[in-house]
Structure 1
């Protein structure tokens, strides 16, 4: 049955329809689009290349669009290019976005947040159908992709961790996966992963500072400093980190196109992330030859040593073009892909029973300083040789309580001993909410 969902009425235009098997790595397009105006790159597509003016920041539409065979609300991200002087990526928030199929269906997308557009309906891409991306940008430029379809289907069969030495002789753990195609055409792959790890504050205590009625300008200063029981979980937390790179692999040169012991990740035995319990979610995407080459070109670009030397003309082409304005350049590739994912857990003791746990991210040595300080509004007698006072550090949220300072710690001993906040409060580094998928 044909879906009727907010069809975008625009005119149709003509549409064109590594060899050794080792992985290559590229950074996500959105993380380095600011560099795309900075160096020349060779690209392959039949879509006309875009030439960028030297010493200017071009207004490029940046498209990140991978539709998968998962039944879900699909997502597409639109942003604008940005220069080296800009810290944030400007989102494109007022575009009209739709995906059309050769079966007459149209799936409309709505803007959710930060340039991310979400399909109104759940759908999964299907074999034997072609899909086209259509975008009407906020400035009226119309963009259309070439028709794309699934290249093949493959699944991850096994996902495991093994303790080994890497090529530099570093003791650690390799994350491997095995897989095999489920249909013809599954020859090119890319991988993303998301890591989650447990954090335990090494100097956590059940009590902490509470500062109220603090007036640093009163003469003398006014404050109430108490040691009170903690009211929330601050000993055990969890941190989830998405990968900042994507791995690519092709099996075109293999007699049997199976994937065996593909190295997704290596973590040294001293890596803080595996101190307690660690999990990694790996997603495998089957790519077309064109998509593989496009992302491989991005990898080659990001690895260029000359990219920071000077601002030079840049070139980029993909399978998306502006069909009503030749002066509306675009970066991105519209990808139709089959995806498979697997999650793995392990604890440090599982693989390294003979080693001490990796050190904490900072040095957690207890110290002390005077409890109070001279009023900020009083005449200053001269340089103060002592560290910041406890009330100042508590007010800034920089320390956690340890105990009374019975051992006289610190160059200017005060009433209480303390550590840096991270050492006694794990929420500085992660979330105290246990992830839904977490397994001990």
Structure 2
């Protein structure tokens, strides 16, 4: 049955949709600056490896600082027979890890947390989900750029609900290579050159989910993980992506699906409204205290691929990420001392006149010549 709106209502709704973008003003309620800080639990009980749990706190939406971490807590994983596996805080505050463990799929497990302030939390007991291997991680160039996909399947049809995360690493190379340095008010050949290559590593922040419950077979085919434009600086030299796959229960999948809607699909008139996340974490000694997060249990499957620039279409105009640094400015000989006594200004190389006489030096910033300002000069062990 079709629902037909009266014409005047259609016209009214159309006008409203056109007027809304011009009527939106930012609004920050007074109460938002006095929100209560709740515990946020992020992680998975790894049944075949090291369990890593990150604890942080909610914070005001207008805060200018990173999310506060929850340090000094006591954590352990326990089964229904009260056997415990302790997690210790690592050098990264708020991150807790266990030893390498193999947990029985016949048992159920939960996470127990006692904060430094004395609050105790537990997750619900959950069954262990066995994650099937990743069949392959593939990539495909398109007219608009590069797409990366994951493929997987479960012959036993027991998985059905999937989640993926990834960790990407790419090589960067500055376009400027200094050949001189300014030391003791004198220009000289550089003694210790800057690294010619560095590597940046970042973890995914978006939520990627897959659901095969409506299919006859438990097969994930070409699930899109990542897209790049034809100018992406991450593909300039070489790029690596490490994909992690997690099997989920239906309840865990529903939690992540709701979290995805709340965090990624808000911003237009037609997006779903935010809903309260319940998760499976509970405070044992304070009924008014909330905890955000869903702690499941299962194995993790990984697969890494590397993509070199030579494998990509030669017509792509990939950027180095240092385009704003070139060409460097030139400093005349009369201004050398005044310019390079400032430690943030880095000399790059000599500049000669048409007759071959020295007339000055090019200069840039440390951000433009030292790739360690953006990444690490330590070559990853998996880099080929």
Q: TM-score, normalised by structure 2?
A: 0.81
Length, aligned pairs only? 347
Identify the match of residue 43 of structure 2 among 65, 71, 78. 65
Distance in 2 between residues matched to 1:356 and 1:183, nearest whole Å: 45
Distance change (3 Å), C-alpha of 1:373 and 1:164: closer
| Larger relative contact order, structure 1 or 2 (CA cutoff 8 Å, min sep 6) | 1
Q: Which residue of structure 2 aligns with residue 31 of structure 1?
A: none
- 1:325-355 CA deviation, whole Å, 9 max, x = no partner? 1121111111113211111111112121344
Distance in 2 between residues matched to 1:328 and 1:92, nearest whole Å: 15
Distance in 1 between residues matched to 2:362 and 2:64, nearest whole Å: 42
Identify the match of residue 85 of structure 2 among 93, 99, 107. 107
- 1:204-243 CA deviation, whole Å, 9 max, x = no partner? 24x232333xxxxxxxxxxx13222341452122111222
Q: Which residue of structure 1 aligns with residue 206 of structure 2?
A: 245
Aligned alpha-carbon RMSD (Å): 2.9
Distance in 2 between residues matched to 1:407 and 1:273, nearest whole Å: 38
Distance in 2 between residues matched to 1:64 and 1:434, nearest whole Å: 29
Kept after mapping to 1: 8 A contact 2:167/2:204: yes
Identify the match of residue 116 of structure 1 among 95, 101, 116. 95
Does residue 1:425 correspond to 2:370, yes or no?
A: yes
Q: TM-score, normalised by structure 1?
A: 0.72
Distance in 2 between residues matched to 1:124 and 1:405, nearest whole Å: 67
Alpha-carbon distance, 1:94 to partner: 2.4
Q: Which residue of structure 1 aligns with residue 55 of structure 2?
A: 78
Question: Which sections of structure 2, spanning at least 5 residues, go unmatched?
Answer: 1-27
Q: Which residue of structure 1 aligns with residue 360 of structure 2?
A: 415
Alpha-carbon distance, 1:306 to partner: 7.8
Kept after mapping to 2: 8 A contact 1:204/1:423: no
Does residue 1:279 correspond to 2:256, yes or no?
A: no
What is the correspondence of 1:244-393 to structure 2 with a 5 Å cutoff? 244-302=205-263, 303-305=265-267, 315-363=276-324, 364-370=326-332, 389-393=338-342
Distance in 1 between residues matched to 2:285 and 2:41, nearest whole Å: 17
Distance change (3 Å), C-alpha of 1:424 and 1:153: closer
Alpha-carbon distance, 1:319 to partner: 0.6
Distance in 1 between residues matched to 2:288 and 2:175, nearest whole Å: 57
Alpha-carbon distance, 1:321 to partner: 0.8
Alpha-carbon distance, 1:55 to partner: 5.5
Q: Which residue of structure 1 aligns with residue 183 of structure 2?
A: 211
Kept after mapping to 1: 8 A contact 2:258/2:275: no
Distance in 1 between residues matched to 2:238 and 2:170, nearest whole Å: 6
Distance in 1 between residues matched to 2:241 and 2:299, nearest whole Å: 20
Alpha-carbon distance, 1:125 to partner: 3.5
Does residue 1:128 correspond to 2:77, yes or no?
A: no
Distance change (3 Å), C-alpha of 1:54 and 1:367: closer
Alpha-carbon distance, 1:285 to partner: 1.0
